[in-house]
A and B are shown apart, each in its own frame.
Chain A
Amino acid sequence: MGGTIKAVENPKLSLNMFSPQDVQRLHAATLEVIEQVGIRFPSRRAQEIWASHGAQVDSKTGIVKAPAHLVESALKKAPPVYTLAARDEKQDLPLDGRHVWVGTDGCGVEIIDLYTNERRRSKLQDVEEIARVADALEQVAFHWVALSAQDKPAHTRGLHEIAAVWRNSTKHVQTESIYNVAEAKAAVEMATVVAGSREALRKRPVLSLMQCTAPPLGHDGGSLDAALIGAEAGLPVGFMTMAACLTTGPATLAGNLVVGNAEVVAGTALIQLAYPGAPVFYAAAQTASDLRSGAYTGGGPEDFLFGAANGILADFYNIPISMGAFATGAKEPNWQAGLENSLSTFMASIVVSDMLLGVGFLHGSRIWSFEQMLMDCEIYEIVRRTLAGIEVNHETLALDTIKAVGPGGNFLSQKHTRAHMREIFVPEYLDRRPYNVWEEKKDGPRDWARKKARNLVETHQPDPLDPAVTRELERIIAAEEA
């Protein structure tokens, strides 16, 4: 059986970021953009759905202008609460607005090899090993496809990737790497095999689909079609905006939120028009582009503010969110990585982002590092404990113990101390040793993380997939490759 999963649950801390009027203004601006400027939907099927519901569709440009009432009424059909199912039922993840679940990040193209320490191109074996380590870690609740299986053919790569994760983990799989009709159909077929039947899949979706928007104010045709296929089968689907200040969005944070929100809201409304009541989620990884290079930064104060703001918008629409946190721009696990990933995770967690992406990446989600993955889990653990806040009651006030010790004594030998000491955080990757010990060994958190990752890759045995299921998954992929 799979291990337990640790979540941020009902945080005691809270954030006061927007007034209700602020949120209303963001929403109103979003509707104005969708109605007057329009969103590009380069998919015939999507355009037909919009047109049949009375939206104005320009078939030449693919731009859809939808009236506010149509968008708003569609969004109301989205279920506020549902569950991401896992192969192991005990690892199911309720998206109930009370939990933050962390996933592995995706989808990168390179990896720092765990044994040679060299950076190299990613392959299927990496997807398998990352899934196996994630299966073992209590902080990781679900998977994104972490790396692109570049040793597999481009047109079935996404299928090889999800099969690899299922073979190596009992946890939920959310893929961000399936964005065309053929692969989406095959993925649904594969998920059906894992779940047992079409009906079982609808009840317990072991797969969810995340599609990227094409900012500003656009979608990708293949992604739209894939999302519609997923939604038809009952797979939770979400659209992720990465609209970034300066380049794909306005320089101002509120303006960039409007652009991103318009993409997500319009995409989500489309799914509800096609399949009312289908499970959907908001997804975002907004940031500011670097002023010098224009590159996506994945860090900095703007990024942290978006981390909370998108969650607040998703709450306003009453749908779960899959939120991009972590994803440092640092080139190696270092000061920058610790700073960026801590703050982004804190801000996204305090507003209870249901799904948090994700542990393990360097250089803006491009280079996988097992060291970073394990240290990210520790960051999450620290955030999780911080958000739990301070409980004040008779037992925690410890008055009896304080009276027993009195001035000048110590609390070490108190029964109360022993009863509660395991609530105190014990770090795995913070160096609290005496200076001379460090001086002698000159090792540190990265070394310890690497050691643990190697150990997990070599020894962790996930609950195997039924061989018959494995064969069936292989058959489906082979049929696509033929």
Chain B
Amino acid sequence: MSKDLFDAMRQSVIDGDPDLAAELAQKAIDQGIDPVVALNEGFVPGVNYVGEQFGLGEMFLPELVVAGEAMKAAVATLEPEFAKRGTERQILGKVVIGTIEGDIHEIGKTLVATMLSASGFQVYDLGVDVPIMKFVEKAREVNADIIGISALLTTTMVRQKDVIEALQDNNMATKVMVGGAPVTQSWAKEIGAHGYSEDAVGAVAVAKNLMGLA
């Protein structure tokens, strides 16, 4: 009986159907299924399947994104049940992410946020035009492991460095990942960022690496 439910959960992620994923998550709660089990037996295999197919070149980025959104919907539905049972969802790490002050370019940052969240990170997306201290304050508030800073302009890219300096001034050891079209490996290195990736899929590997997971 649970197997049918788990299969449906897996499929809802593969099909990228957030409404159905949430509905199935609720069903699991109603049936008294442990949310940890629902997640690990039902939804995660779906994400893994999509990841594998993506690696094989059989599925593409939009499918990865909708799978991530279905996963997010499932987690959001299960979240109160975790709290009720006094357990916690296992996460790979906490990431605060945003596009730097003066820059409104959103798509790359949002893609990275979605990929990270689909891969099991807890993501706090601050949006665009994010002031330097807001990165720092949010990271402190949620005890973030990683801050991700996006910039599309060479003139705003320089502020990625300001975030790193502000973290140092505040004696915080939060790791920093940077990205965006003008950002390069050498720039990341120069400003003392801990990670850099040119695309969203690569960013997940970098984040896992920073968490000592890869």
Task: Please name the residue on chain B nearest to A121 by beta carbon.
Answer: B186
A120 to B187, CA, bound (A): 10
Q: B104, B154, B198: which contacts A150 (Cβ < 8 A)?
A: B154
A110 to B155, CA, bound (A): 15
A148 at interface (Cβ–Cβ under 8 A)? yes
Q: Assess the A292–B201 pair: CB atoms within 8 A.
A: yes
Q: Which residues of A sit under 8 angstroms from B90, Cβ to Cβ?
A: none
A150 to B62, CA, bound (A): 35
Task: Please name the residue on chain B nearest to A248 by beta carbon.
Answer: B107
Most buried by A among B54, B181, B198: B181
Q: B57, B111, B158, B184: which contacts A292 (Cβ < 8 A)?
A: B57
Looking at the assembled complex, report how far the CB atom of B186 sits from the nearest CB atom of chain A, in whole angstroms. Answer: 7
Q: Assess the B154–A293 pair: CB atoms within 8 A.
A: no
Q: Assess the B61–A291 pair: CB atoms within 8 A.
A: yes
Q: Which residues of A sit under 8 angstroms from B202, Cβ to Cβ?
A: 293
Q: Assess the A148–B182 pair: CB atoms within 8 A.
A: yes
Q: Which residues of A sit under 8 angstroms from B200, Cβ to Cβ?
A: 293-294
Task: Please name the residue on chain A nearest to B55 by beta carbon.
Answer: A292
A289 to B201, CA, bound (A): 14
Q: Assess the A148–B154 pair: CB atoms within 8 A.
A: yes
A99 at interface (Cβ–Cβ under 8 A)? no
Q: Assess the B182–A366 pair: CB atoms within 8 A.
A: yes
Q: Which residues, 289 to 304 on A, are CB-close (under 8 Å) to B? A: 289-296
- How many chain B residues sit at the interface, stated as a range, is 20 to 34
Looking at the assembled complex, report how far the CB atom of B163 sits from the nearest CB atom of chain A, in whole angstroms. Answer: 15
- Interface residues of A, CB < 8 Å — how many? 29
Looking at the assembled complex, report how far the CB atom of B148 sits from the nearest CB atom of chain A, in whole angstroms. Answer: 16
Q: Which residues of B sit under 8 angstroms from A179, Cβ to Cβ?
A: 153
Looking at the assembled complex, report how far the CB atom of B193 sits from the nearest CB atom of chain A, in whole angstroms. Answer: 15
A295-B198 CB under 8 A given contacts A121-B186, A155-B155, A157-B155: yes
Q: A148, A155, A291, A295: which contacts B60 (Cβ < 8 A)?
A: A291
Task: Please name the residue on chain A nearest to B156 by beta carbon.
Answer: A154
Q: Which residues of A sit under 8 angstroms from B57, Cβ to Cβ?
A: 292
Extra contacts besides A42-B104, A154-B155, A154-B158 (15): CB < 8 Å: A107-B154, A110-B184, A150-B154, A154-B156, A157-B154, A218-B104, A246-B62, A247-B111, A248-B107, A251-B62, A291-B62, A293-B61, A294-B108, A294-B199, A366-B181
Q: Show 18 residue pairs from A and B whose CB-CB distance is below 8 angstroms, ordered by the A residue.
A: A109-B154, A109-B184, A121-B187, A148-B182, A154-B158, A214-B105, A220-B104, A246-B61, A291-B60, A291-B62, A292-B57, A292-B60, A294-B111, A294-B199, A294-B200, A295-B199, A366-B181, A366-B182
